[in-house]
Amino acid sequence: MLLRALHHQVVRRVKAVDAWDFDQEEPTFGHRTILWEHEGDFYCARWLERIFNPTPENERDLFQTATLVPRDYYLGDLPPLGAATRAASTALSNPNVYLKKIEPYMFDPERSGTEQDHPLAVTTMHEMRVCEVLSQSPHPNLCRYLGYMPTPDGNHVLGLCFERYERNLSSAVEAKVVFDPVAVIDGLRRGLQHLHSLRYAHNDINPTNIMLDNNALPVIIDFDSCRRLGEELEKAGTPDWDHDRDVSLPENDLDGLEKVQKWLDQNYITV
């Protein structure tokens, strides 16, 4: 949705995300975070009602109360020259490239910058370092990393570039795409074995972090939870797919693989 605000310049609503309290016996709605983008900056505000269907006038009023998200919360500093792979300048216009760009919808406008739970810039820079290591030992079942993309001013990391795939395993099952589930599990196992041989664990294996390539073979993506074996885990896994361990271990991935296999057995229906 586009809003006309700030001296008639275009403001784009990026996302609206609900926050729920799962500490109660029944999950309860907490609030909704609304995120807008304007000239490369993000703004966020909270909406406390369950229903969010404002008129353009009401949303403009809400936007005027929004908090500017500090850039250092979601944009990492540019690495020193030669310290990391810089994506080709043509990557953004290449339809075969996916830019993983941070949208700071988890920013809490009621906290100061120093009180935020975990700056997203830290997560991006960690994933970049992991992908730099993995790119030195590529594997067909691990997503191909193409380098970081700088911001237009050249001062920060805008996002990370990867080879683009059409759909993830979750959407493929929902759309009844035909594939070989045995080949998918075998490919995932090979990819994880390779990752573990490099002394890393993914720690967040689930159907949304598994893409299917043009041959309907699996490719593991999303390495922001990936840690060296034995390291403490800082980022929680995906709800319903996470594990109880707080250390990076191969067992975390093997448990996830087993859950994916059971999920496929229950949900993948051949026509």
Write the CATH number for 260: 1.10.510.10
**Among 163, 186, 202, residue at a domain's last position:** 163
Q: Looking at the 3D structure of the chain, how many domains does it have?
A: 3
Same structural domain, 56 and 78? no
* pLDDT value, residue 236: 58
Of 68, 90, 112, the residue at which a domain comes to its end is 68
pLDDT digits (tens, 9 = 90+) for 18-71: 777 777 778 888 778 889 998 889 999 888 777 777 778 888 888 888 999 999
Task: Give yes or no: residues 175 and 244 share one domain.
Answer: yes
Residue 8 has pLDDT above 50, yes or no: no
DSSP string, 179-191: --HHHHHHHHHHH
Terminal-residue alpha carbon distance, the chain: 38
Domain of 96 in residue numbering reads as: 74-163
Q: Are residues 151 and 232 in the same domain?
A: no
In whole angstroms, how far apart are CA 213 and each of 51, 106, 179, 187, 193? 38, 30, 11, 11, 19
My answer on whether 8 and 50 are in the same domain is: yes
Two structure tokens written together for 99: 């830019």
Confidence of residue 15 (pLDDT cuts 50, 70, 90): confident
- Of 118, 142, 163, the residue at which a domain comes to its end is 163
pLDDT for the residue 50? 74
Do residues 261 and 185 share a domain? Answer: yes
Is the pTM higher than 0.95? The answer reads no
Residue 4's pLDDT is: 44
Q: What is the pLDDT of residues 167-223, one digit of tens each?
A: 999 999 999 999 999 999 999 999 999 999 999 999 999 999 999 999 999 999 999
